[in-house]
Amino acid sequence: MNRLVVVGDPVEHSLSPLIHNAALDSMGLSDMYEYRKMRVERGGLEDFVAELRGGIIAGANVTIPHKVDVMAYMDRLTVQARTVGAVNTIYGEGGELVGDNTDCIGFLRSMEEEGIVLRGMKAMILGAGGGARAVLYALVDQGVREITLANRTPVTHTGIVDMMERHGKNLRLTDLDGAVEYLPEMDLVVNTTPVGMKGKHIRESVIPLDRVSSGTVVTDIVYIPVTTVFLKEAKNHGCRTVTGVGMLVHQGAAALERWTGRKVPLTVMRKTLMEYLDREGYDGK
């Protein structure tokens, strides 16, 4: 049996086992692979990586608080993991441990499946954490025309500053008040802060959307609840909205593709996730 794990602390809340095991079952691989939660405290990473190297664990998703620290233990980092400055997926390749970040491809595919063409857009990212940097990577990769990145506190992460410098004058840093000012001219606005998430100011929107144009695509990478207050407000202003569910499903599917080398049943993953969120009352509608 090949063991796949999501490693973090806390890890009890993770929905990854639910969607991965449903996919493995539907792929006919549940006799070969099982996916479990694995609580590893800070300071326990070395033993965990030894288990990966020894083949006891075949692949892993990485969550808080290990996404940055685990990078030091990898033989190789993908360009996405390096640029974002965080690893959320580990797989083996040619005897090496590879640290990857599938949030970038997850965001990109979630936009693609909605038929949203990012090229040429004027885009705004709210937040500057790991999720924001993954979205930023995806937007830069897709050739958006201009990016405004707005954060509560001044941005210091070198990955963002480097990416901005590489991208030149089409990238603008501002605070949340600045975001409100620039809002009317945006084609795309992405919330990557946890504001609106279950347990994190669930009744709030990170910025007021009164000035948003009705033609703007508004997306939230928070997925619990599915329809956040931010997205509800955007809908009220006539905007097209995209939830964070697509990104979650696609980042998971990209990881499972790397571990199994097989095409992954997205519809099964999405259906399993949506049924769970509905059952728990997290649809947010």
Determine the size of the site formed for ligand NAP (CB under 6 A).
25
Contact pick of 8, 59, 85, 106 for ligand NAP (by CB under 6 A): 106
Sign of the alpha-carbon dihedral angle for 197, 201, 203, 206: negative
Stretches 11-19, 22-30, 151-159, 273-281: which one binds ligand NAP (CB under 6 A)?
151-159
Write the DSSP assignment of 163-219 as a string of letters.
Answer: HHHHHGGGEEEE-HHHHHHHGGG-SEEEE-SSTTBTTBSTT--SS--TT--TT-EEE
Enter the DSSP assignment of 122.
Answer: E
Sign of the alpha-carbon dihedral angle for 236, 137, 52, 269: positive
284 interacts with ligand NAP by CB under 6 A: no
Q: Which residue has the tokens 């009352």?
A: 281
Stretches 73-81, 181-189, 215-223, 274-282: which one binds ligand NAP (CB under 6 A)?
215-223
Q: How far is the CB of 215 from ligand NAP (least distance, A)?
A: 24
Q: How far is the CB of 221 from ligand NAP (least distance, A)?
A: 4
Q: How far apart, in whole angstroms, are the C-alpha atoms of residue 217 and residue 224?
A: 20
Is 67 an annotated catalytic residue? yes
Q: How far is the CB of 245 from ligand NAP (least distance, A)?
A: 7
| Integer angstrom CA distances of residue 109 from 41, 105, 116, 251, 267 | 32, 6, 10, 9, 14
Task: Using the minimum distance from each CB to ligand NAP, give the nearer residue, 16 or 142.
Answer: 16
> What is the maximal distance between C-alpha atoms in the chain?
55
Could you give the string, one character per residue 161-200, with x where binding to ligand NAP holds by CB under 6 A and - elsewhere? -------------------------------xxxx-x---
Q: Which residues pair with 3 in a beta bridge?
A: 34
Binding to ligand NAP, residues 237-266 (CB under 6 A): 244, 247-248, 251
Contact pick of 8, 57, 60, 103 for ligand NAP (by CB under 6 A): 103
Stretches 1-9, 33-41, 77-85, 125-133: which one binds ligand NAP (CB under 6 A)?
125-133
Q: How far is the CB of 206 from ligand NAP (least distance, A)?
A: 5
13 interacts with ligand NAP by CB under 6 A: no
Q: Which residues pair with 191 in a beta bridge?
A: 126, 220
Task: Using the minimum distance from each CB to ligand NAP, give the nearer residue, 166 or 200.
Answer: 200
Task: Using the minimum distance from each CB to ligand NAP, give the nearer residue, 121 or 245.
Answer: 245
Q: How far is the CB of 116 from ligand NAP (least distance, A)?
A: 16
Q: How far is the CB of 82 from ligand NAP (least distance, A)?
A: 17
Token digits of residue 175: 């605070």
Interstrand relation of 33-39 and 96-100 (parallel, antiparallel or unpaired): unpaired
Enter the DSSP assignment of 126.
Answer: E
Q: How far apart, in whole angstroms, are the C-alpha atoms of residue 22 and residue 273?
A: 9
Q: Which of 67, 122, 232, 263 is catalytic?
A: 67
Q: How far apart, in whole angstroms, are the C-alpha atoms of residue 53 and residue 59?
A: 10
Q: Which positions touch ligand NAP (CB under 6 A)?
A: 103, 106, 127-132, 151-153, 192-195, 197, 201, 206, 221-223, 244, 247-248, 251
Q: Enumerate the active-site residues.
A: 67
